[in-house]
Structure 1
């Protein structure tokens, strides 16, 4: 979010939007008016080059999360642990336990 030059408050609003929260919910959570939420959302759209909340979520996923998922898929296929969580062997029943 900082890469787009979003202010601290715009980052707060973006996090809420990415969680699928409504304007009303964001307003309550951040203790700001619905109009202020909408103003932040317009600024976020302008700075990130998107036109809707759905597009913002899609861009965030494609640019920031999908590459991690693809990397972890490659690592898992190669028998390496994922970078952000346990590897397949860690999920096996009794893995790491001594008899």
Structure 2
């Protein structure tokens, strides 16, 4: 039998979870608590094989409880069951030591399967939650050149040459325009980027991707 301890402040849900586990042949609810204020003591007494933990509870959050459980000599694996699906909450729970993260809308059959997986040493997440967690590790995308500064095609070309370090003379040669036209484009670029110098224009272009 897989011994399960439950921590959730929702009385109705807590009772439903106990009844759900009672209908299985291999999952045994050994403790159901409305808060995690004495979580380390109850874990030591109950000796669960897996813990089912809510996040929002009075007095002590489920994530704080997960951290405390990790201080025990032989902490049991923990499966979070919560309404929170924000990447920050998932990351914080996993970082604290949780081995699984499911939402409360998860079907009962999937939940019992997840408890078995976590008890066996596996890690469990729904595809949606996993995607959100992975998204927090993705590098920020370089801003795509946009038209928010209303640069013309020729002004973008001149700005690109500025970023590459070309002199006004080289810009004129590359763009096939006169020096006077180069200066006119640069004045327009400064106005549209709201800058006052070449260095500021280059810095803003690099920062925003507008080149």
- TM surpasses 0.5: yes
Q: Is the 8 A contact 2:150 2:192 kept in 1?
A: yes
Q: Equivalent residue for 2:192?
A: 47
SS of 1:38's equivalent in the other structure is: helix
Task: Compute the RMSD of aligned alpha carbons.
Answer: 1.7
Shift of residue 54, structure 1, vs aligned partner = 0.5
Q: Equivalent residue for 1:37?
A: 182
2: CA distance, partners of 1:48 / 1:31: 23
Residue of structure 1 aligned with 2:169, choices 6, 24, 32:
24
Of structures 1 and 2, the one with the larger relative CO (CA 8 A, separation 6+) is 1
Q: Is 1:14 the equivalent of 2:176?
A: no
SS of 1:6's equivalent in the other structure is: coil
SS of 2:166's equivalent in the other structure is: coil
Shift of residue 57, structure 1, vs aligned partner = 1.2
Q: Is 1:62 the equivalent of 2:191?
A: no
Compared CA separation, residues 63 and 12, structure 1 to 2 (3 A): closer
1: CA distance, partners of 2:186 / 2:206: 18
Q: Equivalent residue for 2:150?
A: 5
TM-score (norm 1): 0.60
TM-score (norm 2): 0.29
Query: Which consecutive unaligned segments of at least 5 residues does structure 2 have?
Result: 1-145
Work out the number of aligned pairs and report it: 65
Shift of residue 2, structure 1, vs aligned partner = 1.9
Larger Rg: 2
Q: Which has the higher strand share?
A: 2
